[in-house]
Amino acid sequence: MEHSAKMRRRLLGSALCLVLAWPVQALAATTLKFSHTDQPGGARHKAAELFAKKVGEYTQGRYEVKVFPAGQLGNDPKAIEQLQLGGIDFTVSSTGSYATHLASLNLTMLPFLVDNYDQGWRFYDQSPWLKTQFAKAPEKGFRFLATWEAGFRSMTTKEPLVTPADARGKKLRSFPNEMMRWTLESMGFNLQIMPLPEVYLAIQQGAVSGQENPIDTIFANKFYEVAPHVTLTQHVYSPIPLAISEKTWQKLAE
What pLDDT does residue 37 have?
A: 96
Domain 152-237: what homologous superfamily?
Periplasmic binding protein-like II (3.40.190.10)
According to CATH, where is 3.40.190.10 located in the chain?
A: 152-237
The CATH classification number of 2-149+240-251 equals: 3.40.190.170
What pLDDT does residue 88 have?
A: 99
User: Are 134 and 244 a contacting pair, CB within 8 Å?
Assistant: no
According to CATH, where is 3.40.190.170 located in the chain?
A: 2-149+240-251
Q: What is the pTM of this model?
A: 0.90
Q: Of 198, 199, 181, 177, give the one whose Cα is nearest residue 189.
A: 181
Phi and psi at residue 132, to the nearest 5°: -65, -40
- pLDDT values of the chain reduced to their tens digit, one per residue, 254 residues: 455 556 555 655 666 566 555 555 555 789 999 999 999 999 999 999 999 999 999 999 999 999 999 999 999 999 999 999 999 999 999 999 999 999 999 999 999 999 999 999 999 999 999 999 999 999 999 999 999 999 999 999 999 999 999 999 999 999 999 999 999 999 999 999 999 999 999 999 999 999 999 999 999 999 999 999 999 999 999 999 999 999 999 997 66
Could you report how far apart the first and last alpha carbons of the chain are, in Å?
Answer: 41
Q: How far apart are CA 91 and CA 18, in angstroms?
A: 14
Q: How far apart are CA 166 and CA 170, in angstroms?
A: 8
